Chain A
C-alpha cells in the first residue's frame, strides 16, 4: 500500500509543483502509516529523480518511453493505473493542471475510485476520507468525502507548504507495458517556448492589463520580470487585442495560476480575471482607479499611474539585489 504521486517535469527538471505534491503526499502517508511512490514519465536524469527524496518520496518509478511524449491521455491513464496497481496504491495524487485534469478522471474510472479535484489542503478527516476544495470558482469551499477504497485527487497548486524531509529514495525502472495500439494521439505540429519561466509554475508573476495602454509599453514589465525571475502574464483584453500572446492570458477562461506573488499592473480585476489568480499567496495591484475591484483581492496596492510606479519598482528591486 502506498500513496502514488504523478510528477511532471519541464525540460527534464521537476516542476516546483511536483515537489509540493510529493511533500503533500508525504504528510498524508505519515497519517495513514504508508509510503510515497512517485511516478516519473519522461527523460529525467537519476540525480534529478533523487531530488524527490528530499521531499519524502520513498520510491520513484521511472518510465522512460518516448511514446508518452504525445501525451496520449488514454495511454497515460493506463500507465498510471498499472503503476497504482503494482504499488497497491490507495491514494493517487495528480496536480490540478492540464495534465492532471486530463488523466486523473480516466484513472479514477479504471480503479473504480472516487475522485475529488482541486483539493486545497490535507484531508480534514481520514474516516471517512474527506478533503476540502474550492467550489463556485473560489466563492465557497466544500468538504467532500470519498466513499471508495481507492481515492484519486487532483491537488491545487500552492495550497500546501513544502516541507523538506530528506529520505533515502530508491529508483526503479518501470515498464507499464502499453501496446502500440493504445497510443492514438498523433502530434502534427508543436509550438513550444523553452528556456522561459513557465507561467503556471512561476513563483512570481508580473501581469499587465489595459492600463498599460499598448504593446509598446511592455519593456518595463519585461525588465521587472527578468530581475525577479518571474513569469509574464496579462489580462483578457490584452490578449484579445493581440498586444500579448494568448499564452500569457490568466483568468477564469485563460490560465489559472497560484504563484507566491502576483503583481497586477493596470488591471481592473474583473471577476473573471480574479477567478484565475485569486489563489496567489500575495497580490499587488497598481491601478489609477481607487474603486477598481482588484483592490478587493489585493494585499498591497497603489492607486496611481502605472508608468510612474513601474520605474520605481524596477529601481527598488535593483537596489535590493545590489545589497544581496
Chain B
C-alpha cells in the first residue's frame, strides 16, 4: 500500500497574527513555520502503519513556495520516504486541490488533516477526492490495515463507526488518528537530508475565491467576577443578565 499525506505549512500555533498592506495580507515576518497539527497526526499514523509492515511507501505533498521546504524536510525526518512540492503560492482550496490532483494519482490512501490552522478551510481533501473521482471519508478518527484492507474509524453524531471503503480513498482525519505527533529523532533528521524532495511546476488553475481583507476580532469585555462564597449569584446573573436559561 502506498500512502500520500497532504502537508500544509502553517504558522506556529502561538504566532501573534498581524497583517500588512492595509490589512490585505498576512504578515509572515518572523513567523515560525510548522506542519499543520492535523497533517502531523496523519503523518504519524502513516508512519506507524509503515512500521507495522502494512505500508510500502509514504509520500508527503505540499503546494507552496520554497519557504515550505523546511517543513517538508521535517516530514521526511518524521518518517516519510519522499516529498513533493508543487511550486506555487496556494491561492485557495480549489487551487491547491487542483494542483494536488496532478501528483496524487498513484496512491491507495491519501490522508489530509480536517483543516489547516491558518485559513481553516476544510476543503482540500474533499475537493481532491472529487477531482480524482474517488471515495472520501471525513471525520476519520482511526485507520487500521488488516490483511491489506483498510478499516476506517469515523466519528458520527453521538458516536463512531467502523467502515470498509474501497481504495483509492481520501481519508480526512481528525482527533484520535494518532495520540501524539511523532517527533523526529536525530537519525531521522540525518536521513531526511538524503531523501528526495521533488519540486514540480504548477498547472494552470484559477482560484475561485479571494481573500479580500482581514481584521482582528473586537476586544472582549472583561470577565465579570463573582465571589466563591457567593456562587449562587452567578446563576442569577446567567438567568437575568445573560439570559441563557
Could you list which residues of chain A lie within 8 angstroms of chain B, going by C-beta atoms? 10, 70-74, 77, 96, 98, 101-106, 108-110, 112-118, 130, 133-148, 154, 184-194, 196, 198, 200, 203-204, 228, 240, 246-247, 249, 252-255, 260-261, 271-272, 281-282, 284-286, 295-305, 308-309, 312-313, 315-317, 319-320
Measured between alpha carbons, how far is A117 from B122 in the docked complex, in Å? 7
Any A CB within 8 A of the CB of B174: yes
Stretch at the interface among B61-69, B129-137, B196-204: B129-137
Cβ contact within 8 Å between B129 and A115: no
Any A CB within 8 A of the CB of B186: no
Question: Can you list 24 A-B contacts with CB-CB less than 8 angstroms, sorted by A residue number?
Answer: A70-B163, A71-B154, A72-B135, A73-B136, A101-B114, A101-B115, A106-B129, A108-B127, A109-B130, A117-B120, A140-B19, A141-B217, A146-B209, A189-B161, A191-B159, A196-B158, A240-B179, A260-B244, A299-B223, A301-B226, A303-B228, A308-B228, A315-B232, A316-B231
Cβ contact within 8 Å between B209 and A115: yes
A108-B161 contact, Cβ under 8 Å, with A101-B138, A130-B212, A301-B223: no
Known interface pairs A253-B174, A303-B228; 18 further A-B residue pairs with C-beta atoms within 8 A, sorted by A's residue number: A71-B154, A98-B156, A106-B127, A109-B126, A114-B92, A145-B209, A147-B208, A187-B162, A190-B160, A196-B158, A246-B176, A254-B175, A299-B223, A299-B224, A308-B228, A309-B228, A313-B232, A316-B235
Could you list which residues of chain B lie within 8 angstroms of chain A, going by C-beta atoms? 11, 13-15, 17, 19, 37-38, 41, 92-94, 97, 114-115, 117-127, 129-131, 135-139, 151, 154-166, 172, 174-176, 179, 207-217, 220-221, 223-229, 231-232, 234-239, 242, 244-245
Q: For residue B137, give the distance in angstroms from its CB to the closest CB of chain A.
A: 6
B234 interface neighbour in A74, A114, A139, A313, Cβ under 8 Å: A313
Cβ contact within 8 Å between B225 and A301: yes
Cβ contact within 8 Å between B127 and A312: no
Q: For residue B29, give the distance in angstroms from its CB to the closest CB of chain A.
A: 15
Count chain B CB atoms within 10 A of each CB in A74, A102, A138, A188 and give the residue with the most. Answer: A102
Cβ contact within 8 Å between A253 and B231: no
Q: For residue A93, give the distance in angstroms from its CB to the closest CB of chain B.
A: 15
A104-B126 contact, Cβ under 8 Å, with A136-B11, A186-B163, A282-B242: yes
Cβ contact within 8 Å between B158 and A192: yes
Q: For residue A6, give the distance in angstroms from its CB to the closest CB of chain B.
A: 14
- The secondary structure that dominates the B interface is mixed
B226 interface neighbour in A138, A272, A300, Cβ under 8 Å: A300
Cβ contact within 8 Å between A138 and B217: yes
A282-B244 contact, Cβ under 8 Å, with A101-B126, A118-B122, A135-B118: yes
Cβ contact within 8 Å between A300 and B224: yes
Cβ contact within 8 Å between A140 and B214: yes
Q: For residue B154, give the distance in angstroms from its CB to the closest CB of chain A.
A: 8
Measured between alpha carbons, how far is A300 from B239 in the docked complex, in Å? 12
Q: For residue A251, give the distance in angstroms from its CB to the closest CB of chain B.
A: 8
Q: Total number of A-B contacts with CB less than 8 angstroms? A: 277
Residues of B within 8 A of A204 (CB): 244-245
Closest 10 CB pairs of A and B: A304-B228, A105-B126, A114-B208, A102-B138, A192-B159, A316-B235, A312-B231, A316-B232, A109-B130, A261-B244
Residues of A within 8 A of B129 (CB): 73-74, 106
Q: For residue A11, give the distance in angstroms from its CB to the closest CB of chain B.
A: 9
Measured between alpha carbons, how far is A72 from B235 in the docked complex, in Å? 44
Residues of B within 8 A of A113 (CB): 208
Measured between alpha carbons, how far is A204 from B239 in the docked complex, in Å? 13
Residues of A within 8 A of B114 (CB): 101
Residues of B within 8 A of A187 (CB): 161-163
Cβ contact within 8 Å between A249 and B244: no
